[in-house]
Structure 1
Amino acid sequence: MRQSDFSRPAPRPDDPRGWAVVVAAMVGVALGLSPIPFYTIGMLAPQLSAEFGWSFAALMASITVQSGVVMVASPLAGIAIDRFGARPVALVSLPLFGLSFMSLALSNGSLTLYYAQWVIMAVLGVGTLSATWTRVVTQWFDKWRGMALGLASCGTGITGFIIKPLCAHLIETHGWRTAVVVVGCLPIVVGVPVVALLFREMARGAAASDKPVEVAEEVVQSGLTLAETARDRRLWIMAGAFLFIAFALTAPTPNLENILKTRAFTLPQIGEITAAFGLSVIAGRLIGGWLLDRFWAPLIALVILAFPAIGCWLLTSLALSPLIATLAVISLGFGAGFEFDLLAYLISRFFGQRHYGAIYGCFYAVIAFAGGLGPVVFGYVFDRIGDYTIALRSGSACLVVGAVLLLAMGAYPKLSEK
């Protein structure tokens, strides 16, 4: 039988070596398709609008274009992860994503070219989304799975905290085209080396002198087949729940500045209030992950999602003070930080590792659809009414409905191995 080339004993769930994998996953998440375009478009939009005369609506439509492509591409990426492994997919997708992001510096005033660049970026960068990183993290951890997922997912919060001031500095000193090139280099010069050195799938890096790799793979790939998952009622309960949850958590985020503007806050006040969002995302990931390790996940979801539900309602208060607005933004960020940790945790506990990538990819398509729809619906309501109250209160209701639906998932099943 084939033996491992490693001299160290085979890792088991919660092996300390898994924390190096978490660090690599955090870096991969931070420098991937999910956070970088989302957090930089707001900085680049005024520059592109000034140079090419594009409207802000046309510029923000790039996010919708990306979401549409991800809906189709993420299930295919999940299948590739299951077939070839998460590490090879990451090492191919990270540099291609970086290069495609840098191509935005070649924009020449054609919206058609601009949207095509976003399509290519989404296709090539889909391997940097959460399915790639969470699949491996969930292999390495059982008792500490929630905390490990929370730490890995902190990458998006770190990006949100760092990338805007970096981008602003580069634009001010060297222009927006240079800023795009520098930011696009980060997945290549930082992400690829870290992932190459530290990111290891347990089955591929695990074996002992007395145990073949094939045995290690059997251990980590327990769970349902795709056909069994499709017939499982819990799949459809989760899909319905995350439609509501993703819609309500994503919709307010790009509209926050305008929501606060309609409530007569000044631009400096808006900047101070919204700065709390990125840090609260990190808090949501860490606290949520810690709780997932100790309590039944649907119950924790009900508790944590109550915070953004209250936050949406607070933003509709007649007397909205800076303190209340800040608490509302913190509540929204706290819930947004918990969303993807919850998804990864539920999939691993209820459906297992056997076809984790494909299952996660399908759920990411659900989130991409709802997340792409939410900001547009909120913007449409504002255009028609001139106020966000109805939209925010509807979002609050959606969060409650989604959280309650998850309670129907039942107890964690005992998953069989191959």
Structure 2
Amino acid sequence: MVYSYTIKGGAMAEGKGYGEFRTGWPVVVAAMLGIGLGLSPVPFYTIGMLAPELAREFGWTFGDIMGGLPIMTFAVLVASPAVGFLADRIGVRPVALASVGLFALSFMAFALNPGDIRFFYANWAIMAVLGAGTLPITWTRAVNNRFDDRKGLALGLSLLGTGVFGFLVKPFTALMIAEFGWRGAYLAVGALPLIIALPVAWFAFHDVGDRTQNAAQRRESAALAAANAPGLTFSQTLREWRFWVLAVAFVPISFAIGGPIPNMENILKSGGFAAADIVTLASLIGLSVIAGRLLGGWLIDRFWAPGIAFFMLCAPAAACWIFAHGPLTFETAAISIVLIGFAAGVEYDLMAFLVARYFGLKSYGAIYGTLYGFFALGAGIGPVVFGRAFDATGSYDGPLMQAVLMLIGGAALLLTLGRYRQFTAPA
């Protein structure tokens, strides 16, 4: 039997069902743009388009270029818990706004690379630290504060940006490369958060109480809200076995899903597909991420989330099996890519949803930030393992089969979480 998560009193009791969207939709839109044009998807989805240009100009190997992703991962491991604590203390709005601008500038700095791989790697680390506030840690906190009955759907819509811009940024990057070269592409893509996400967030992204309080009052309210919010403290959560189940499960899951996506163009090329077919097939990732966001959010609102996650994460295991064993046709490749993208679409909102349901909102930022660090660990290592394997063997079969086992094992771990926890906030 599945028990619901109950919060009495406070902002989340104000709206029920879809009525919560009457006041909460600007926050959802701002979160969608902020996440979609932030650290999580933009470097991840553009590296596959830019890697051949960097290799051609500087003579770097594919594995060398993918090495920026684990550097970003380890920087995120350090920065994301700090961002979570900062958001809990001073509020999510100032953290998110500052980080959007800093992320944009640090991404544009890649255009200044003189051909030094050390400069390239340092840029990844700096971008990760400065852009950590654009991760879902901050944006989903405000969404969670405003939604209860439709929390899963609201989170799914907020995280829809990763799919939308994952679909759009690949052809946009290719166009910019063709018109202005890889340096111009870095500048153009980096400008998108400044001209789209930042203005919208400035006007629309407000947590509960932001509009009626000054900075000092917001800091005081944030501390008071943290003290009175329903749920566990961060130290209590670290003693919870469910936290460590999630931490352990998300490493192999993110490895298995994150490994193939930035390597997808090369996976398809090694499978014998023509350039035009590769562009068409690779674009399906973003579209399927969108579908995963929407359907996944709708399902976890209505059914036990770990059970939904198990089925949605076993599907890309079948896709990795197909890629490893071939032979690939256009149809089988398209189906496999959709299955992988569909699972990628449910990952982030699933994590946000599980944190809220099992640990509450008292230390949401710190808990989510720490779990995101484990998630980023797998997502950062995966692409490099895939790239190194191809450099060494000319094939992706080995890591693809590893991904099959990791997806099934990680998804099975989620089934041990049990019933949702119940927390009651003071009136």
TM-score, normalised via structure 2 length:
0.89
Aligned equivalents of 1:393 and 1:99: distance in 2? 38
Q: 1:257 aligns with which of 262, 265, 278?
A: 265
Whichever residue aligns with residue 373 of structure 1, its letter is: I
Note the 1:129-168 alignment, pairs <5 A: 129-168=135-174
Q: Does residue 1:340 correspond to 2:348, yes or no?
A: yes
Note the 1:11-26 alignment, pairs <5 A: 11-12=14-15, 14=20, 16-26=22-32
Q: CA deviation at 1:15?
A: 5.1
Q: CA deviation at 1:51?
A: 3.3
Determine if contact 1:219/1:417 at 8 Å carries over to the other structure: no
Q: Does residue 1:349 correspond to 2:373, yes or no?
A: no
Deviations 1:64-89 (A, max 9, x none): 22112111111111111111111110
Aligned equivalents of 1:91 and 1:218: distance in 2? 21
Distance 1:164 1:200, change over 3 A: same
Aligned equivalents of 2:311 and 2:134: distance in 1? 30
Counterpart position of 2:194: 188
Q: CA deviation at 1:175?
A: 3.1
Aligned equivalents of 1:15 and 1:164: distance in 2? 31
Whichever residue aligns with residue 304 of structure 1, its letter is: M
Note the 1:209-228 alignment, pairs <5 A: 217=225, 221-228=229-236
Distance 1:99 1:382, change over 3 A: closer
Deviates more, 1:34-43 or 1:377-386: 377-386
Counterpart position of 1:360: 368
Aligned equivalents of 1:42 and 1:15: distance in 2? 36
Q: Does residue 1:110 correspond to 2:103, yes or no?
A: no
Determine helix, strand or coil for the equivalent of 1:192.
helix
Counterpart position of 2:339: 331
Which structure 1 residue ranges, 5 or more long, are not aligned?
1-7
Distance 1:141 1:95, change over 3 A: same
Q: Does residue 1:50 correspond to 2:41, yes or no?
A: no
Counterpart position of 1:124: 130
Which structure 2 residue ranges, 5 or more long, are not aligned?
1-10
Distance 1:359 1:153, change over 3 A: same
Counterpart position of 2:5: none
Deviates more, 1:75-84 or 1:56-65: 56-65
Whichever residue aligns with residue 350 of structure 2, its letter is: L
Q: CA deviation at 1:416?
A: 4.2
Determine helix, strand or coil for the equivalent of 2:22.
coil
Deviates more, 1:253-262 or 1:279-288: 253-262
Whichever residue aligns with residue 409 of structure 2, its letter is: V
Q: CA deviation at 1:270?
A: 2.5
Q: Does residue 1:236 correspond to 2:229, yes or no?
A: no
Determine helix, strand or coil for the equivalent of 1:34.
coil
Q: Does residue 1:306 correspond to 2:314, yes or no?
A: yes
Counterpart position of 1:268: 276
Aligned length: 407
Q: CA deviation at 1:206?
A: 7.5
Taking only the aligned residue pairs, the percentage that are identical comes to: 47
